[in-house]
Amino acid sequence: MKEKLFDSEEKVMEILWERGPLSAKEVSLIAADSIGWNKNTTYTVIKKLEAKGFLRRDEPGFLCTPLVTREEMQKKAATSLLNKVFGGSRKALFSALLEDEKLTDKEIEELRKLINER
């Protein structure tokens, strides 16, 4: 999983992450409803995702199954942001995130718990 997801690819993956394995036809119908895509656009994106190893298509009905989780992609994106924008500094990332943010006591406690569990 070396490649990243482009916006269009992420939209198809979101459909699969939300609803689980679906046929290519079902994905195209949902994409038509929610995004306004035509069938050919959806099928092209599905083929690209399959070629990149993000999903698998099986018979019958070209059943599309995600091969990566949303959480794996979130972690990959967060790591990329951390390295690209903050030079790998977690402290700089958290400082930027929390600089203008007012946290509740509960949120502070949850963050402390996450840090202490590391």
What is the percent of the chain with per-residue pLDDT over 70, rounded to a whole number? 98
Cα dihedral 9, 15, 18, 21, rounded to 10, equals -100
Task: Answer whether residue 1 shows pLDDT above 70.
Answer: no
Helix extents (H) in the chain: 7-19, 24-34, 39-52, 70-86, 90-98, 105-116
Alpha-carbon gap, residue 118 to 114, rounded angstroms: 7
Contact 51, 39 (CB under 8 A): no
Q: What letter would DSSP give residue 3? A: S
Q: 118: pLDDT confidence band, cut at 50, 70 and 90?
A: confident
Alpha-carbon gap, residue 62 to 26, rounded angstroms: 10
Tokens found for residue 64: 């599309």
Domains annotated on the chain, with CATH:
7-66 (1.10.10.10), 70-116 (no CATH)
pTM, entire model: 0.79
What confidence tens digit (pLDDT) does each residue in 8-51 have?
999 999 999 999 899 999 999 999 999 999 999 999 999 999 99
